Amino acid sequence: MKLTTVGSLPTAAGNIIPSTLQSSDAVRFWLAVLFTGVGTGIGAAALTRLLEVVQHVAWSGSATNILDAAQHATPLRHIVVLLAAAALTGIGQLLLKQLSSGNGIDTTAAIWFHAGRMPAFRTLGSAVLSVIIVGLGVSLGREGAPKQAGAVFANFFSDKGRLSDEQRRLLVACGAGAGMGAAYGVPLGGALFALEVMRGKLALRFVLPALFASMIAAGVSWFALPNVPTYVIPAFVNSASIILWAVVVGPIAGLASVGYVRMVTWADRHRPKGWGRITAPIIVIGALGIVSIWFPQVLGNGRDISQLAFTGQVAPLVLLALLVLKPAATILCMRSGAPGGMFTPSLTFGAMLGGVLGLLWSQFWPGAQPGIFALLGAGAVLGATTQGPISAVVLMMELTGRDRSFVLPMLLVVGIATLTARSVDARSIYDARLTDEEIEQRQKQRDLPSQ
């Protein structure tokens, strides 16, 4: 096969992503996209149902609202359930390490430095474990599991289709984005997440595979999951006050996001080893159970408290307390070795930040609906922590089922926050396991012409 060189990286004709059905390997590639979407949709639906069953059984309440269930639970249940989550975290991590022949590879690292190749058993095992412990109340996101499952399906069908490394790299990113799209019912946001955040390029040839994989996965998941917005919000009214607030708060959200990402990086790099995999979760997650007796909002991925913040139903002092407690719980759970996603916890941190800053703003310029500040703050932090402003805005639209009532200030605050964060540190929450050298190498690869 004839090789050419672009920059310092070799490429080959077989690495080109087929944009039509006319090239020799197009059928194999597009079949892999189709099967990845179907497999990811089924996997996301199954993992979501597993989480709901675990949550319902553990908390003896709502399968979809952990906050409501935890508020009606006894203090003893809080402690027992979280200690069970701690034990499962420790034992599960030890078993995965012992039973898996390969080392765990982060999805981002796999895409950029291993041509998308990941150990299937360990990755799927980690996905199932994360869903179970999040259902039990660990303060991490549930989207990590379907994202991992989508990446594994993409890797499998890349093998079956004998795809090139570049095609596999794209398909794994599409699988991860499809997992996000199926888990939250956000097919367009999932596709943009795959391109902008996971693959790091919005090249034209990449768009159709990402769209088809995410669309198919979301469509398949809707046979088992409800096709409704994740967050139900009112129609907000824009004003000069909100636009000016977005300009002022954008840099603050960007700097807060840099600090948050650096804490995530610290937590991931200092995960426990050896028998610390048992003791650290017991200490940290057990303490989370105690704190949750008074602040049940720290449990789970944060979706329920964000919903309340978006509708202005969180008391000011609670908002202020959770601005500290919720990200601290997430960082420490990760530090203890618990697997899980960072998407919804980051969104929740932004909602708390926006809510607090909105309350302060309203003291000087009253009149705006309090929920819009939390919503804009969530989008700003999401864009800055993922380094994906376009996908963040679209995701907020699809997650709420609304657009025009907040799109202008959302674009403004997300753009300013992301620009601020990127000017200080280009690392995202999905880069926690990458070294500084790998971040630099990835940036060089992003700057290469797309095939």
pLDDT digits (tens, 9 = 90+) for 230-266: 999 998 988 999 999 999 999 999 999 999 999 999 9
The answer to whether the predicted template modeling score (pTM) of the entire model surpasses 0.85 is yes
Q: What are the backbone dihedrals phi and psi of residue 340, each rounded to the nearest 5 degrees, phi first?
A: 170, 170
Confidence of residue 436 (pLDDT cuts 50, 70, 90): confident
Among candidate residues 65, 55, 96, the one with its CA nearest the CA of residue 304? 65
In this predicted structure, what is the pLDDT of residue 30?
94
Question: Which single residue is written with the structure tokens 């919804």?
Answer: 344
Domain residue ranges of the chain, discontinuous segments joined by +: 27-221, 240-446
Collapse the DSSP code of 371 into the 3-class scheme (helix H, G, I; strand E, B; otherwise coil) and give the result.
helix
Mean pLDDT, the chain, integer: 90
The 10 Å CB-count burial string (b at 16+, else e) for 363-393 is: eeeeebbbbbbbbbbbbbbbbbbbbbbbbbb
pLDDT score recorded for residue 100:
61
Instruction: Give the C-alpha distances (Å, rounded to integers) separating 332 from 50, 132, 255, 288, 329.
Output: 24, 18, 21, 9, 5
- Say if residue 22's pLDDT is above 80: no
For residue 10, the cross-strand partners are 5
**Residue type at position 24:** S
Q: 418 and 384 in contact (C-beta within 8 Å)?
A: yes
Chain-centroid distance of CA 200 in Å reads: 15
Question: Can you name the CATH fold of 27-221?
Answer: Clc chloride channel (1.10.3080)
- pLDDT on residue 12: 42
Distances (CA, A) of 320 to 198, 264, 315, 429: 32, 21, 9, 23
- The total of other beta-carbon atoms located within 10 Å of residue 8's CB is 9
Class of domain 240-446: mainly alpha
Tell me the DSSP string of 31-50: HHHHHHHHHHHHHHHHHHHH
388/177 Cα distance (integer angstroms): 13
pLDDT in tens, 90-121: 999 888 887 665 556 788 888 888 888 988 88
pLDDT digits (tens, 9 = 90+) for 33-78: 999 999 999 999 999 999 999 999 999 998 889 999 999 999 999 9
Query: In the prediction, which pLDDT does 125 show?
Result: 93
Residue 8 has pLDDT above 70, yes or no: no
Retrieve residue 439's tokens: 């971040």
The CA distance from 385 to 368, in Å, is: 26
**27-221 and 240-446: same fold?**
yes
